[in-house]
């Protein structure tokens, strides 16, 4: 059995699910356009530079979830997937996922984006496991607090979360003949260096340069 791990934003998706969720909320009048877009630009520049404070980012991104009933959020999310996500799920991405599933590989999406936004997207791809940042939820009514819990699956935190998940299944890295991780971002270098087969997907400049130096495979899913 092999292990296949997939980053989501700008890897399996030809876009960013967090950004698209914010744009959707703007279109609904749920968040202020000027503030949201200014903060998005600020956080994206930090992300590209590798200086993003993940906790500051999560506090901002999760805040809208805490202001609305779960039923409204779930209804909005269904509309969001139809309008914003399906159009950026490329045929090549779907085919790559199906190739790994058909081979019997253990497949998971590993993303810093929160699991409320990304859970239905993982199901759209047919990927059975999701390792995403976890928003805190009231167990009684499903309401979000606006905070996250546990280790965010970002940079080195992705290794921590993947290893905890594997352990929960009674597995570890040595359980697999091959382990592959697909990503577009230099922020994912820790996990890419951990697997046996790192694959750069439409990579940013830093990752492309590193992948070239290391002789890693570089592909496009666009």
How much is the CA Rg of the chain, to the nearest whole Å?
Answer: 17
The pTM of this model reads: 0.94
Mean pLDDT over 27-39 rounds to 88
Q: Does residue 18 have an active-site annotation?
A: no
Mean pLDDT over 185-202 rounds to 98
Q: Residue 127 maps to which CATH number? A: 3.40.50.1000
Q: How far apart are CA 54 and CA 75, in angstroms?
A: 27
Concatenate the DSSP letters of all residues of 115-151 into one string. HHHHHHHHHHHT--EEEEEEEEE-TTT--EEEEEES-
With a CB cutoff of 8 Å and minimum separation 6, the contacts of 195 are: 3, 5, 179, 180, 181
Over residues 65-117, the pLDDT tens digits come to: 999 999 999 999 999 999 999 999 999 999 999 999 999 999 999 999 999 99
- Give the per-residue pLDDT at 220: 98
**Looking at 9, 18, 105, 184, which residue is catalytic?**
9
Using 50, 70 and 90 to split pLDDT, how confident is the model at 189?
Answer: very high
Residue numbers of the domain that contains 60: 3-219
Share of the chain above pLDDT 90, in %: 77
Over residues 115-130, the pLDDT tens digits come to: 999 999 999 999 999 9
Kindly give the pairing relationship between strand 129-137 and strand 144-149: antiparallel
Using 50, 70 and 90 to split pLDDT, how confident is the model at 140?
Answer: confident
Mean pLDDT over 30-52 rounds to 87
Q: Does residue 7 have an active-site annotation?
A: yes
Q: How far apart are CA 203 and CA 220, in angstroms?
A: 8
Q: How many structural domains comprise the chain?
A: 1
């Amino acid at each position: 059995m092999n292990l296949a791990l997939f980053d989501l934003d700008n890897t399996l998706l030809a876009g960013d699910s967090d950004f698209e969720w914010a744009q959707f909320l703007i279109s609904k009048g749920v968040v202020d356009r000027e503030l949201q877009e200014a903060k998005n630009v600020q956080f994206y520049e930090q992300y590209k530079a590798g200086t993003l404070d993940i906790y500051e980012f999560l506090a901002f991104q999760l805040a809208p979830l805490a202001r609305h009933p779960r039923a409204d959020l779930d209804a909005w999310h269904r509309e969001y997937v139809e309008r914003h996500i399906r159009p950026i799920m490329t045929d090549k991405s779907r085919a790559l996922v199906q190739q790994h599933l058909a081979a019997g590989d253990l497949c998971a999406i590993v993303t810093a984006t929160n699991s409320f936004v990304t859970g239905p997207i993982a199901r759209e791809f047919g990927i059975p496991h999701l390792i995403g940042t976890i928003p805190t939820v009231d167990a009684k009514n499903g309401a979000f607090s606006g905070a996250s819990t546990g280790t965010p699956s970002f940079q080195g935190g992705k290794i921590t979360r993947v290893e905890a998940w594997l352990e929960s299944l009674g597995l570890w890295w040595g359980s697999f003949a091959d382990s592959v991780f697909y990503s577009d971002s230099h922020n994912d270098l820790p996990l890419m260096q951990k697997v046996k087969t790192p694959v750069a997907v439409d990579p940013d400049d830093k990752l492309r340069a590193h992948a070239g130096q290391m002789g890693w495979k570089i592909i496009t899913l666009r």
